[in-house]
């Protein structure tokens, strides 16, 4: 099967964005107030990557799909009860901290080590998927760092579409400025794709898929390896919510340059 693929999706879990998130500084550093009791969801960016990966694997018989997720086991179990009903995958959980404050290099190192150790993974067939951005680890470099640690130099970010060809090459649409796409052709795997929203809607819940997934998810969670992310010198002086301020003034005769100058002065005074 020349086009069978090994697709690994890196997807973290995040607090439900409908919740009020309040940053606090604790003994272990910055975090979110009551973070462990906030309802969690799969990172929306990475969720798009998962759905696109599942559709691609379904179109190419013999393909295999892994979901690698770093987070507290209790939270991972909660989220997987829902995600497992969407698409078929093999979960590879890593028991570690949640949130957007850990160092991206430490996160990438743990993810790359875990992916490299996957039983049966053929790196020649590997497509590494993830979110272009993240609702927590939004450093914009984590997925790229994972790819580099795995020795993958063909990387695409802001992906909305991938079309696999019969010869193993594929065409990628990446978002660029002005609402346009850059079209690239890659000779073949391995490659890293950081997904934007893609083109697929969220799949409907399928209880049969959920039951099949849970047969492997629960044992995987029970054996999840605990990890601690090193700070690597990263520190935060303080964390706080952005200030909300509104001052309205009506002006009729100001030029664009005068408006810009006043905005710059106002921003600089903050």
pTM, entire model: 0.80
Domain ranges of the chain: 6-226
Torsion angle (degrees, nearest 10) of CA 136, 141, 142, 146: 170
Predicted confidence (pLDDT) per residue in 129-154, tens digit: 988 887 765 567 888 999 999 999 99
Looking at residue 28, what DSSP letter applies?
T
Are 60 and 215 a contacting pair, CB within 8 Å?
no
Report residue 229's pLDDT band, with 50, 70 and 90 as the boundaries. confident
| Between 101 and 199, the higher pLDDT residue | 199
Closest CA to 85 of 262, 177, 224, 214: 214
Superfamily of 6-226 according to CATH? HUPs (3.40.50.620)
Query: Percent of the chain beyond pLDDT 90?
Result: 36
Instruction: Name the H helices within 138-187.
Output: 142-149
Mean local confidence (pLDDT), 180-194: 91
Q: What are the backbone dihedrals phi and psi of residue 215, each rounded to the nearest 5 degrees, phi first? A: -65, -30
pLDDT of amino acid 105: 82
Question: According to DSSP H, which parts of the chain are helical?
Answer: 44-59, 73-83, 104-116, 142-149, 207-222, 256-268
pLDDT, position 270: 60
pLDDT, tens only, 69-83: 988 888 888 889 889
């Amino acid at each position: 099967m020349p086009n069978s693929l090994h697709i690994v999706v890196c997807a973290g879990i995040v607090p439900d964005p409908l919740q009020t998130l309040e940053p606090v500084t604790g003994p272990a550093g910055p975090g979110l107030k009551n973070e462990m009791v906030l309802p969690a969801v799969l990172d929306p960016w990475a969720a798009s990557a998962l759905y696109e990966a599942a559709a691609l694997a379904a179109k190419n018989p013999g393909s295999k799909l892994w979901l690698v997720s770093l987070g507290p086991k209790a939270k991972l179990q909660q989220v997987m009860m829902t995600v497992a009903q969407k698409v078929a995958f093999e979960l590879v959980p890593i028991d570690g901290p949640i949130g957007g404050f850990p160092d991206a290099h430490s996160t990438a190192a743990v993810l790359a080590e875990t992916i490299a150790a996957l039983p049966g993974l053929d790196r020649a067939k590997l497509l590494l998927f993830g979110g272009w951005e993240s609702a927590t680890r939004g450093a914009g470099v984590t997925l790229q760092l994972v790819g580099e640690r795995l020795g993958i130099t063909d990387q695409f970010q802001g992906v909305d579409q991938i079309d696999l060809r019969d010869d193993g090459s594929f065409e990628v649409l990446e978002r660029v400025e002005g609402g346009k796409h850059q079209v690239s052709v890659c000779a073949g795997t391995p490659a890293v794709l950081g997904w934007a929203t893609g083109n697929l809607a969220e799949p409907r819940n399928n209880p049969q898929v959920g039951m099949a997934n849970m047969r492997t998810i629960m044992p995987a969670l029970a054996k999840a390896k605990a990890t601690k992310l090193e700070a690597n010198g990263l520190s935060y002086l303080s964390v706080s919510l952005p200030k909300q301020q509104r001052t309205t003034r009506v002006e009729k005769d100001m030029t664009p340059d005068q408006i810009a100058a006043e905005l710059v002065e106002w921003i600089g005074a903050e």
